[in-house]
A = this chain, B = another copy of it.
Amino acid sequence: MARKQSISIIEVARLAGVSKSTVSRVVSDRGGSVSPKAEGLVNKAIEELGYTRNHHASGLRTQRSWMILVMVPDIANSFWAEIARTTQDGLEAGGYSVVIGNTDWSEQRQERYYGLARSGRFDGLILNSVTDDLDAIKDMGIPTVLLGERVEAQDIDTVGTDTRAATRIALDFLWARGHRRIAIATNEHGSERFLSLRRRTYGEFLSEKGVAVDRDLVFRLNLSEEGGKELAKSILSLPRWQERIDAVFCGNDVIAIATIDALAAAGVAVGSDISIIGMDDIPAAAHSRPALTTVRKMRTLTGKAAAELLLARISDPGRPTEKRLFPGELVTRASVAERCIHT
């Protein structure tokens, strides 16, 4: 492990026989007039010395890091991994490097990343917030794009899926196939407001149909594999669950698939005894048994749009806030019964 010698522009300048200003001019991209000859000399010296620009020093002067942080709640969920990687192309084309932060649905970890951002390490942020604290985001004082639909975030750029519409697609489909006792599994993290979109839509939907919300059918848990196991357990431990639940609408595919697995393992025939519908359409959704019916989100478009908006915001902090919402799309597979057994 070759100990990094501190070779600064001073050494380079000395070797090249120019001043450090000249060296600085050639190493900092915004090439302030340098003669070809001087440039050659400098580059030769840089090569010879193996000089690398010290990021802390240049950042201290310019207040720029040329790094973007993309924060996702669960990097092991391919939906988020895909979104993160998709932002990369656009951002790199804009001259930035991108690194990913994984909050694992933890507020504490999120706060840790916020701290990094506040201390000036990143020129921009793309994030899906675990909490509902929009002020904390604004307080970081750096260009930010929110991932997911946050209608209440009036003054922050947002890109995501039209959750309300997507939720209705799922619920409508369940209803059309005769399911009446519909359970919902949403995230246990965040505040009431954070939950509101899926939950509110669920409430609205049921009341439109004239059915009361059964508190026992509202499950708040981690939208993860563990959450799926819990959910299955909760369902099965509900006395006479067959008579109380027709279908469950899951907040994402990860928990939906895990639930299917756990239920199947317990001998339940998903797709006839009970129906499950997910959200996202991750690759694994096509492979569960039964294959998962779900609402597809356009993750590639989402990632691309997020990169675009962030770049635009960075180059013009004063531009009007923009929100880009993509529609969801029903993907019919086998986890929802053709006809609910109770109707």
Contact = CB atoms under 8 A, between A and B. Distances in A.
A17 to B, nearest CB: 25
Contact of A119 (B55, B99, B116): B55
Contacts of A14: none
Contacts of A112: 92, 97
A1 B84 contact: no
B142 A67 contact: no
A81 B76 contact: yes
A100 B101 contact: yes
Contact of A284 (B88, B101, B284): B284
A288 interface: yes
A327 interface: no
Nearest to A260: B287
A102 B75 CA distance: 11
B116 A97 contact: yes
A283 B285 CA distance: 12
Please classify how large the interface on chain A is, using the bins under 10, 10 to 19, 20 to 34, 35 or more.
35 or more
Contacts of A142: 1, 4
A226 to B, nearest CB: 13
A139 interface: yes
A261 B9 CA distance: 56
B84 A75 contact: yes
A76 B85 contact: yes
A78 interface: yes
B85 A102 contact: yes
Interface string A64-100: 0101010000011010011011001000100001111
24 contacts: A1-B138, A1-B144, A1-B317, A2-B139, A2-B141, A3-B317, A4-B120, A4-B141, A52-B118, A52-B120, A54-B120, A55-B56, A56-B60, A67-B116, A67-B121, A76-B78, A78-B81, A84-B102, A85-B102, A85-B104, A99-B100, A99-B101, A100-B101, A284-B287
Interface of A: 1-4, 50, 52-57, 59-60, 63, 65, 67, 69, 75-76, 78, 81-82, 84-85, 88, 92, 97-102, 104, 109, 112-113, 115-116, 118-121, 138-144, 155-156, 225, 257, 283-284, 287-289, 317
Given A1-B142, A56-B60, A88-B102, 8 more contacts: A1-B317, A54-B60, A55-B116, A56-B65, A75-B75, A75-B100, A257-B287, A287-B289
